A and B are shown apart, each in its own frame.
Chain A
Amino acid sequence: KAGVTQTPRYLIKTRGQQVTLSCSPISGHRSVSWYQQTPGQGLQFLFEYFSETQRNKGNFPGRFSGRQFSNSRSEMNVSTLELGDSALYLCASSLVVTGVYEQYFGPGTRLTVT
């Protein structure tokens, strides 16, 4: 079974631009969560989707948005990029939301904002 895939793996953008990151969960998984990882702030929760509905959102400005499609693939968008948005963006997928089911992480997208 294929793992969680994230595209692109690396991205360089300029301040003020916008970016879209994609996450394809493991087949059959309906829950997708996104995290931002930076040296200063560590791992921070961005949002969580289940069956195309956003269930939870972290404490990030409105420039960060996401969505989930009917095939469970998810995208996150960051508009008006700032230097501080440079980070590793991780997504994780899980079968469902309840229970102690394992969340499987993708390899991440490394975003650099110049």
Chain B
Amino acid sequence: AQTVTQSQPEMSVQEAETVTLSCTYDTSESDYYLFWYKQPPSRQMILVIRQEAYKQQNATENRFSVNFQKAAKSFSLKISDSQLGDAAMYFCAYRSAGGRGGATNKLIFGTGTLLAVQP
């Protein structure tokens, strides 16, 4: 079974600074997708960034980028130029690309990292 681990329950960053959130996962599959979701106090889950495991190039979306290390099963999120609106709970998630179980949209989430942004 796949698992996702986020070892930082809480993080804090100064506005305009850079912060990195950690995520490791365990899987025996070779093809999968990884995601970072943001959940602000409104509880609306929003996709921040996605990475396909077969792509070696790290995904970037504006101020958000990932460091994907497939061999180490590590998928960290870097937020540059942090803004007050970035304050939220961040979840790392894994999704199988198929295989024996077939294609699925099932997401396996980590426990989350609560990010505070200090003005």
Contact = CB atoms under 8 A, between A and B. Distances in A.
Interface string A78-114: 0000000000101010100110101111011000000
B105 interface: yes
A97 B104 contact: yes
A104 B102 CA distance: 21
B84 interface: no
B52 to A, nearest CB: 6
B98 interface: yes
Contact of A97 (B43, B103, B110): B103
Contacts of A100: 33, 50, 52
A55 B102 contact: yes
A33 interface: yes
A55 B110 CA distance: 22
A24 interface: no
Interface residues of B, number: 24
B108 interface: yes
B43 A48 contact: no
A45 B106 contact: yes
A58 B107 CA distance: 11
A105 B50 contact: no
Nearest to B51: A100
Interface in B77-105: 91, 98, 101-105
A11 interface: no
B105 A97 contact: yes
A97 B105 CA distance: 6
A48 B96 CA distance: 14
B25 interface: no
A31 interface: yes
Contact of A45 (B43, B47, B103, B107): B107
B91 A43 contact: yes
A92 B45 contact: yes
Interface of A: 31, 33, 35, 42-43, 45, 48, 50, 55-56, 58, 88, 90, 92, 94, 97-98, 100, 102-105, 107-108
Given A88-B43, A94-B105, A97-B104, 5 more contacts: A102-B50, A103-B47, A105-B46, A107-B42, A107-B44
